């Protein structure tokens, strides 16, 4: 498992306590799980994502991620409508492990409130959370 | 410690049956023909199945070798938490093999099946007495099937009262099959966090128990191996608001003859005969998951039911409110016979003692190992205890590494990474089967592994060394499973 100093934690996303990330742009946002989350889960073997067009509130489960260790729910960091999902993960769930912020993204949403991501954690605040 | 039980003795490789044999080889000869040759209807002629041509000795060696790769409760200690891998006394097999039972057929009339029907009728009574519940169905084929049947019963109860309730509360210390069973029945699972002591707080239940909630599914003792101390208050809250309480009884081995489930407010409870009542488990045979209910749910139990009139036993389908049939015929009757044999061999006092010893054994392990492994909830446990790899993580050794190493010492690994509420969980259930000497040996092995994690971490990381195969590629198995021969 990685030390905190070894984790990839980009500046251009916001983080949640449940270890999801959000990258907002133009009223939309991409969402996935952090490098810490994928490292804790171990090898991801399956990702279940929602139907396009469905709407979720902040904190609602939008899907599940299954690793060799466990199945975990994925929670909406912010509210919104699903515009697209990363269907490539059906064939290549390992991208969540290798490139959690790029090829391993999970959903793209239309933000219910454009400013909602501002309330989430910055990189520095997230590192503090991980240090406990 | 004395020598490890694990050795690297000769274990023979064995290919798939399709890679063995030769065309034309066979295991038996047809008897001499004593009827006239008759042409086969052309419509019945086709390619045969793709079976390999094998001799009897090919087949016997194949399965004997596979059996030698296996590890079971007959081989050694199998402390797989929440699975209750207790020893299954051989007398159970002997009773189930009595010709009257073994040769019984479900199409025989009830007049010719009085023995097996009486056994089923009496077994229902025994399970009622052991659990404190009013009525029992023996039909469900396993625990999760029992959960599903239980959910159907709860649904039927609410429907009969003209209520539509769509949610079920599921604590984070319940068995993983619980939310799946609720969803399969069409309910929405509402997760509930346990408190810092690892049990349910009545306040948290009260907050989410509303008029749309059909009930709660608790596992008691829960998956942290802890008894739900607040269960009485929890069941009161749920009942007052019109809900029902389901109890996953997979952990019943901790409380046989000690807890009256009816008394603490349980409405529906399933049992795993293949856990608590010593019938074969997992690959060893089919399971059985009887469901026990309170009087108010009896009308809804599955049909057919074994009934008794004037000393005669028969099957009746005359229960109009029943949820119907949930298994072909009457369930896995062979398993019921073995559980019946176990209950009668033990008697009430010894069933209670089995639970007491199972709890004592788990607490002994917990106390002996709690300085070596992190114990998230340091309080008396029931029949299983849950450690984590928090201390060993400093040396980058995980629970996964340590349990692989435990195999080198000749023990089956415990349940790992469950319950999810404990990071790096290692859930140990010794059952009442093990002697103090064997438990001490197990404790010594785990202590030796903790020492290796500190002083020789690579040995732990490279375990197992003595098993037939080393670490398997679990990721490839899950991502690209090969499901055919």
Domains of chain B as residue ranges with CATH = 91-345 (3.40.640.10), 352-471 (3.90.1150.10)
Report the distance separating Cα B357 and Cα B84, nearest Å. 13
Split at pLDDT 50, 70, 90, the class of A3 is confident
pLDDT at B141 over 90: yes
Q: Which residues of A touch B478 (CB under 8 A)?
A: 43, 45-46, 66, 68
Question: Strands, E, within B264-369: which ranges?
Answer: 268-270, 291-293, 305-309, 312-316
A24 in any annotated domain: yes
In this complex, do A45 and B478 lie within 8 Å of one another by their Cβ atoms?
Answer: yes
Q: Please give the residue of chain B at the shortest CA–CA distance from A66.
A: B478
Q: What is the model's pLDDT at position B9?
A: 77
Q: Which residues of A touch B393 (CB under 8 A)?
A: 1
| Average pLDDT score, chain B | 95
The count of domains in chain A is: 1
A4 in any annotated domain: no
Report the distance separating Cα B197 and Cα B201, nearest Å. 9
Q: What is the model's pLDDT at position B173?
A: 94
Q: In what order do the strands lie in the sheet with A14-15?
A: A14-15, A20-25, A28-33, A107-111, A80-85, A55-56
pLDDT digits (tens, 9 = 90+) for A68-103: 888 889 999 999 999 999 999 999 999 999 999 999
Split at pLDDT 50, 70, 90, the class of B94 is very high
Question: Strands, E, within B139-279: which ranges?
Answer: 167-171, 188-192, 213-219, 244-248, 268-270
pLDDT digits (tens, 9 = 90+) for B436-480: 999 999 999 999 999 999 999 999 999 999 999 999 998 999 888
In this complex, do A93 and B479 lie within 8 Å of one another by their Cβ atoms?
Answer: yes
- What is the domain range of residue A99? 12-113+122-131
A18 in any annotated domain: yes
pLDDT digits (tens, 9 = 90+) for A101-128: 999 999 999 999 999 999 999 999 999 9
Q: Which of B32-36, B382-386, B456-460 is predicted with the least confidence, judged by mean pLDDT?
A: B32-36
Task: Identify the H or E element spanning A27.
Answer: none
Find out whether B156 and B189 touch, Cβ atoms under 8 Å.
no
User: A–B: how many Cβ contacts below 8 A?
Assistant: 24
Q: Full-prediction pTM beyond 0.95?
A: no
Split at pLDDT 50, 70, 90, the class of A1 is confident
pLDDT at B3 over 80: no
Find out whether B268 and B292 touch, Cβ atoms under 8 Å.
yes
In this complex, do B417 and A1 lie within 8 Å of one another by their Cβ atoms?
Answer: no
CA distance A25 to chain B (A): 33
Q: Which residues of A touch B418 (CB under 8 A)?
A: 70
Instruction: Tell me the CATH number at A18.
Output: 2.40.50.100
Q: What is the model's pLDDT at position B284?
A: 58
pLDDT at B154 over 70: yes
Q: What is the model's pLDDT at position B480?
A: 86
Q: What is the model's pLDDT at position A17?
A: 94
Can you say how many angstroms the Cα of residue B268 is from the centroid of all Cα atoms in its chain?
18
| Average pLDDT score, chain A | 94
Split at pLDDT 50, 70, 90, the class of B322 is very high
Split at pLDDT 50, 70, 90, the class of B166 is very high
In this complex, do A70 and B479 lie within 8 Å of one another by their Cβ atoms?
Answer: no
Q: What is the model's pLDDT at position B428?
A: 98
pLDDT digits (tens, 9 = 90+) for B247-259: 999 999 999 999 9
Q: Which residues of A touch B425 (CB under 8 A)?
A: none
pLDDT at B221 over 70: yes
Q: Which residues of B touch A37 (CB under 8 A)?
A: none
Q: Which residues of B touch A47 (CB under 8 A)?
A: none
A5 in any annotated domain: no
pLDDT at B283 over 80: no
Evaluated on CA atoms B51, B53, B56, B59, the torsion sign reads: negative
Q: Which of A40, A68, A70 sits opposite B475 (nearest CB)?
A: A68
In this complex, do B396 and A46 lie within 8 Å of one another by their Cβ atoms?
Answer: no
Q: What is the model's pLDDT at position B97?
A: 97
């Amino acid at each position: 498992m990685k030390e905190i100093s070894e984790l990839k934690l980009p500046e251009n996303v916001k983080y949640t306590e449940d270890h999801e990330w959000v990258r907002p742009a133009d009223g939309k946002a991409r969402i996935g799980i952090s490098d810490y989350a994928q490292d804790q889960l171990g090898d991801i073997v399956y990702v279940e994502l929602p139907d396009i067009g469905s709407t979720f509130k902040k904190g609602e489960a939008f899907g599940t991620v299954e690793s060799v260790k466990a199945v975990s729910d994925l929670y909406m960091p912010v509210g919104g409508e699903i515009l697209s999902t990363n269907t490539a993960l059906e064939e290549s769930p390992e991208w969540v492990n290798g490139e959690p912020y790029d090829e391993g993204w999970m959903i793209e949403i239309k933000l219910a409130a454009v400013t909602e991501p501002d309330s989430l954690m910055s990189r520095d605040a997230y590192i503090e959370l991980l240090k406990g | 410690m004395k020598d490890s039980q694990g050795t690297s003795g000769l274990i023979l490789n064995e290919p798939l049956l399709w890679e063995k044999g030769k065309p034309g080889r066979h295991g038996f000869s047809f008897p001499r023909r004593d009827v006239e040759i008759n042409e086969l209807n052309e419509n019945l002629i086709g390619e045969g199945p793709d079976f390999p041509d094998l001799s009897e000795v090919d087949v016997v060696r194949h399965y004997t070798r596979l059996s030698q790769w296996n590890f079971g409760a007959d081989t050694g200690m199998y402390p797989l938490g929440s699975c209750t891998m207790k020893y299954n006394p051989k007398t159970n097999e002997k009773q189930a093999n009595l010709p009257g039972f073994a040769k019984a057929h479900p199409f025989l009339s009830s007049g010719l099946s009085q023995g097996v029907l009486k056994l089923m009728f009496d077994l229902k009574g025994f399970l009622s007495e052991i659990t404190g519940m009013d009525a029992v169905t023996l039909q469900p084929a396993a625990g999760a099937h029992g959960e599903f049947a239980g959910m159907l019963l709860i649904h039927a109860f609410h429907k009969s009262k003209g209520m539509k309730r769509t949610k079920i509360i599921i604590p984070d210390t319940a068995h993983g099959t619980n939310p799946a069973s609720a969803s399969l029945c069409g309910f929405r699972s509402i997760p509930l966090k346990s408190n810092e002591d690892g049990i349910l707080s009545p306040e948290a239940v009260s907050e989410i128990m509303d008029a749309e909630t059909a009930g709660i599914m608790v596992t008691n003792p829960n998956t942290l191996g802890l008894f739900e101390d607040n269960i009485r208050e929890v069941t009161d809250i749920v009942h007052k608001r019109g809900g029902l309480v389901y109890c996953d009884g997979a952990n019943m081995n901790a409380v046989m003859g000690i807890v009256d489930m009816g008394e603490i407010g349980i409405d529906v409870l399933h049992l795993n005969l293949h856990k608590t009542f010593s019938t074969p488990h997992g690959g060893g045979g089919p399971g059985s998951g009887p469901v026990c209910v309170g009087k108010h749910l009896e009308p809804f139990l599955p049909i057919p039911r074994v009934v008794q009139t004037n000393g005669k036993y028969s099957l009746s389908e005359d229960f109009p409110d029943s949820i119907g049939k949930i298994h072909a015929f009457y369930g896995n009757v062979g398993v019921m016979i073995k559980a019946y044999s176990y209950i009668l061999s033990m008697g009430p006092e010894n069933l209670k003692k089995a639970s007491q010893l199972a709890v004592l054994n788990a607490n002994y392990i917990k106390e002996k190992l709690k300085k070596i492994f992190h114990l998230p909830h340091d309080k008396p446990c029931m029949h299983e205890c849950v450690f984590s790899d928090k201390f060993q993580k400093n040396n980058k050794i995980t629970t996964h590494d340590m349990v692989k190493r435990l195999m080198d010492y000749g023990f089956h690994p415990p349940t790992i990474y469950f319950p999810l509420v404990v990071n790096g969980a290692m859930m140990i259930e010794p059952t009442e089967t093990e002697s103090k000497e064997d438990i001490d040996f197990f404790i010594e092995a785990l202590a030796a592994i903790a020492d290796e994690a500190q002083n020789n971490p690579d040995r732990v990381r490279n375990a197992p060394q003595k098993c037939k195969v080393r670490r398997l590629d679990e990721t490839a198995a899950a991502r690209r499973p090969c499901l055919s021969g």
